[in-house]
Amino acid sequence: MKDLDRLDRKILRALQKEGRLSNLELADRVSLSPTATAERVKRLTREGYITGYSALLSPEKLGRNLLVFVQVKLDRTTPDVFDAFAAAVKRSDDVMECHMVAGGFDYLVKARVAGMEAYRQFLSEVILPLPGVRETHTYAVMEEIKATGHIPV
């Protein structure tokens, strides 16, 4: 992050907070000309600081009210099992995130489903049949205290 100056950081903070800003609005917020702002955004994208844009959707409006975290322990920790598990998880639309972790289990899966019945189906049809799954522990979220994808810049 040494290559980022104060203006680059301002641009990243502004876009992270509000990705639909027009170039003109962004230029105004960071006190730079529109041309210079556009060039900086292009460079930040080209260099991989900006990886894309998306809309934040309402899980409730879309019938995905239940957020669950599932700890998954594998029966074998070999490259072929890891690869097969990762490929299978990537195919599931219910899985929002999946992380290989160090500690008492192998993966932490974050999923959004309609409710507990849908979760039971997700567990039995998606998680448990995954390659190498030996054990799972589920944590249903009762209240989201903080949910953000913002990275300090």
Q: What is the pLDDT along the chain (153 residues), one digit of tens a residue?
A: 568 999 999 999 999 999 999 999 999 999 999 999 999 999 999 999 999 999 999 999 999 999 999 999 999 989 999 999 999 999 999 999 999 999 999 999 999 999 999 999 999 999 999 889 999 999 999 999 999 989 999
Query: What is the sign, positive or negative, of the torsion defined by CA atoms of 141, 137, 114, 86?
Result: positive
Task: Report CA 131 to chain centroid distance, whole Å.
Answer: 23
Class of residue 79 by CB neighbours under 10 A (exposed 0-12, middle 13-18, buried 19+)? exposed
- CATH 1.10.10.10 residue ranges for the chain: 6-46
In this prediction, residue 123 carries a pLDDT of 96
In this prediction, residue 3 carries a pLDDT of 87
Tell me the one-letter amino acid at 120. R
Query: What is the sign, positive or negative, of the torsion defined by CA atoms of 54, 50, 26, 14?
Result: positive
In this prediction, residue 131 carries a pLDDT of 86
C-beta of residue 59 within 8 angstroms of C-beta of residue 96: no
Bridge partner list, 140: 68
- CATH 3.30.70.920 residue ranges for the chain: 66-140
CA distances (Å), origin 87, targets 67, 69, 94, 99, 119: 22, 19, 14, 13, 21
User: Could you tell me the fold of the domain covering 66-140?
Assistant: Alpha-Beta Plaits (3.30.70)
In this prediction, residue 2 carries a pLDDT of 63
In this prediction, residue 100 carries a pLDDT of 97
* CATH number attached to the domain at 6-46: 1.10.10.10
Taking Cα atoms as reference points, which of 88, 95, 78, 101 lies closest to residue 129? 88
